[in-house]
Chain A
């Protein structure tokens, strides 16, 4: 029951994303292509790494809470970087904005594309959730 619910939930994303991809105004989208791509690709990477770093070092430095390992922090960073298009748009629509407004198109485009980037990042990180791979701060600092 629990597994099937989870599968159902993950499968439901496709409906949401497909609807958003279908209905976005392609002309406005292409006009705002540069900021959208910068925000959704570069921004998602940056946001993932920043949130992961903050969660990892934040939970590590506070002694009375569980330390979240680095891989889990990165996975959290990637999943929290995806912006929900529908929740955002329902707010902006009520402000009387339409897809002719640059800010509206930017937010919609960003939320649409960064879902894809965040999901791929997340799936990649899930593959590395393995106890045999030890990634801690020493390992990370030794690379850098």
Chain B
């Protein structure tokens, strides 16, 4: 019969990992805000749904030894209240405000948004720009970590094995002088799926780029680093010439498609526009 599945609500990660190791189609469910949409439209392809909402171990955000650890179960509402300051807050706060609306923010989690692996997932560009790694745990294999770009394999495909649970995201705490830029372009102010989103962090030393991270959402099958652009900027000052070249390179690197939200051509053009805007903003930040 349609939509026939069992439901379990583990109390801790160990129980959750045992549940995920069960045979059959096992579906972990956090905020549920993607899964429930799918279930409205078609029977859920699952024999067992593992509810992750009670795993308090996955909820804290902590900092130790220069590394931030964000539990996968942290909700966007909670993330919005977080006030770490600097580049971290500069990226996360506007992303959270642009993420769906307040009702969904109260349910949806960081881990869920990452595992859904939509190209337009709002959390991905900031996390890519922060050089995040994801932590996966399983009853059989224990903990392993993967850089976020290696976690995304394709359109809604990730490196998570069915028995694995994404438990946390970690990234180096940005330095106090780290510069940032975030922008999400949608068709409506609130609650819009992005046409293009962009997150950047740049470390400038004596006016030259020591490290640049430029992450793009909704312009390729998965959220992506504009690697060539990042490399191009390495060691360069930020001026009209370098910024123009970087923007053009990023536009080339993007692999956008046409859909009813926007044409690929417009998305590509917006990548150029927003990279330019972002680097100009960064060049003037904190002056």
| A and B from one complex | no
Taking Cβ atoms with an 8 Å cutoff, the residues of B that contact A are none
